[in-house]
Amino acid sequence: MIKTNMAGVDLIFETSDTLFSPKKIDAGTLAMLSKAEFKPDDKVLDLGCGYGVVGIFAAKLIGPEHVVMSDIAEDAVSISRKNAILNGVKGISVYESDALSGMDDNDFTVILSNPPYHADFSVPKRFIEKGFNRLKLGGRMYMVTKRKQWYFNKFKAIFGGVRLYEVNGYFVFMAIKMDNSYANHK
């Protein structure tokens, strides 16, 4: 069990050794959240939610009806649902989904992800490309990694530009969807 306070919000999380960062909130996730902005009318997707830190934090700020969480792992989905109840935001929609394949939503204003980045780039590549397609015009995508150049290039190719923040040894990328087609296809 993790008990924490993030930006004045008390949170509690049940975890599992099968999920990423089961003993404490990952420093990369905290770095990304330090740069993310949430508005009351946002529709937020926590893509690859793990045990639900990002989505539950967002739901505490803007309401659970504005938050969707997804993960490919069945245990992540199950634990995220429990954590939503533990934190008083049980109205969050939680899907078991490979990238975004199990969901129909295409009107997100904010997508946040801390993808697996120690292996190859296939997962973040899908997250960035599919995430772009699910954002509304003007929507923002945030992603945190320990690697810089590939992500910078990928975001620039898809979104046309990207803001890069370095926070405690992590790279936080933020890109805004300015057009309905990929930038490198114009």
Burial of 186 (0-12, 13-18, 19+ CB in 10 A): exposed
Residue 69 lies in a domain: yes
Closest CA to 58 of 95, 92, 23: 92
- Backbone phi, then psi, for 153, in 5-degree steps? -65, -40
Beta bridge partners of 10: 5
The position carrying tokens 């893509």 is 47
Instruction: Please count the CA atoms within 13 angstroms of the CA of 68 that sit on its side-chain side.
Output: 24
Residue 107, domain member (yes or no): yes
Note the pLDDT of residue 40.
Answer: 94
Residue with tokens 């990002």: 54
The verdict on residue 16 lying in a domain is no
Answer positive or negative: Cα dihedral of 156, 161, 165, 166.
Answer: positive
Considering the domain boundaries, does residue 19 fall inside one?
no
3-state secondary structure of 104: coil
Kindly report the CATH number assigned to the domain that includes residue 35: 3.40.50.150
- Our CA dihedral for 100, 87, 82, 145, rounded to 10 degrees, sits at 40
Report the predicted TM-score, pTM, of the whole model to 2 decimal places: 0.92
Q: What share of the chain is helix, strand, coil (3-state, %, to 5)?
A: 35, 30, 40
Which pLDDT does position 49 carry in this prediction? 92
- Tell me whether residue 13 is in a domain: no
> Hey, what are 122's tokens?
């296939």
Helix, strand counts (H, E) of the chain: 5, 9
CB 93 within 8 Å of CB 67: yes
Q: Please give the helix or strand (H or E) that residue 185 lies within, else none.
A: none
Q: What is the pLDDT of residue 186?
A: 46
Find the domain containing 76 and state its range.
25-180
* Number of structural domains the chain divides into: 1
pLDDT tens for the chain, 186 residues long, are 889 888 888 999 989 888 877 688 889 999 999 999 999 999 999 998 989 999 999 999 999 999 999 998 899 899 999 999 999 999 999 999 887 787 888 899 999 999 876 667 878 888 899 999 999 999 999 999 998 999 999 999 999 999 999 999 999 999 999 998 888 754
